[in-house]
């Protein structure tokens, strides 16, 4: 009887994951919007505007610097986000994800994928990438932040990376870059788990600071 119950549970779990894959793109976009809105409401509540397109995630094998809870560094290029195998191995060691989830999430990283956030699901204004590039690439950084403050009330904004979900959409790794000025910003990796149909932060890692 126990063997039969185990088989049924495994089969049910496989069916649920398979069903989710049938609408994978819609599921990812919806869950991403929900998570981003929760983060800006309760964790990054000084944010006044969000970049509307996600930043691509690149897959690398090894990172020389191990990301930890208190380690911060200034990255050489804020336009690129890397998720390394080292990161996933560390999350396995901390029992935040299992090896099957890690393998699935790492192997499915695709730097060609970006998502657009949905204004109706985000409680803060969205700024298009073209407008962001105009403010911060064509103008100097300080002028860009002054314009953000003028438009939205504070100079704080975030860029969100393309999310990395496990197969059943119960675990999520999300990179977020947070800026409030040309010399004031921080990078985060949030590991979240869906518990009782709510996304909860189970670990927060610092990646850089300036």
Q: Using alpha carbons only, what angle is made at residue 158 by residues 43 and 96, rounded to the nearest 5 degrees?
A: 50
pLDDT at 79 over 70: no
In angstroms, the first-to-last Cα distance of the chain is 59
Residue-level pLDDT at 103: 96
Any domain includes 12: no
Q: How far apart are CA 66 and CA 93, in angstroms?
A: 13
Any domain includes 30: no
Residue-level pLDDT at 177: 95
Any domain includes 10: no
Any domain includes 168: yes
Number of structural domains (the chain) is 1
Residue-level pLDDT at 90: 94
Q: What average pLDDT does the structure give for the chain?
A: 84
Any domain includes 169: yes
Any domain includes 36: no
Q: Are 118 and 31 in contact (CB under 8 A)?
A: no
Range of the domain at 74: 45-209
- pLDDT digit string (tens) for 49-66? 999 999 999 998 765 544
Model pTM score: 0.83
Any domain includes 31: no
Any domain includes 5: no
HSE-CB at 71 with a 13 A cutoff on CA atoms is 7
């Amino acid at each position: 009887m126990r063997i039969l119950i185990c088989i049924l549970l495994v089969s049910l779990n496989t069916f649920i994951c398979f069903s989710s894959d049938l609408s994978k793109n819609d599921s990812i976009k919806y869950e991403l919007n929900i998570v981003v809105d929760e983060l800006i409401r309760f964790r990054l509540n000084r944010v006044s505007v969000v970049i509307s397109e996600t930043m691509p995630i690149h897959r690398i094998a090894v990172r020389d610097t191990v990301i930890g809870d208190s380690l911060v560094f200034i990255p050489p290029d804020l336009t690129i986000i890397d998720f390394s195998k080292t990161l996933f191995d560390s999350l396995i060691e901390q029992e935040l994800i299992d090896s099957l989830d890690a393998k699935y999430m790492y192997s499915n990283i695709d730097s060609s994928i970006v998502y657009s956030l949905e204004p109706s699901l985000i409680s803060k204004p969205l700024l298009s990438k073209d407008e962001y590039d105009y403010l911060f690439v064509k103008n100097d950084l300080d002028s860009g932040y002054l314009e953000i403050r003028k438009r939205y009330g504070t100079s704080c904004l975030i860029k969100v990376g393309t999310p990395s979900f496990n197969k059943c959409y119960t675990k999520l790794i999300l990179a977020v870059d947070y800026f409030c000025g040309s010399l004031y910003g921080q990078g985060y990796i949030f590991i979240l788990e869906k518990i009782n149909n709510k996304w909860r932060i189970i670990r927060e890692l610092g990646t850089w600071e300036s």
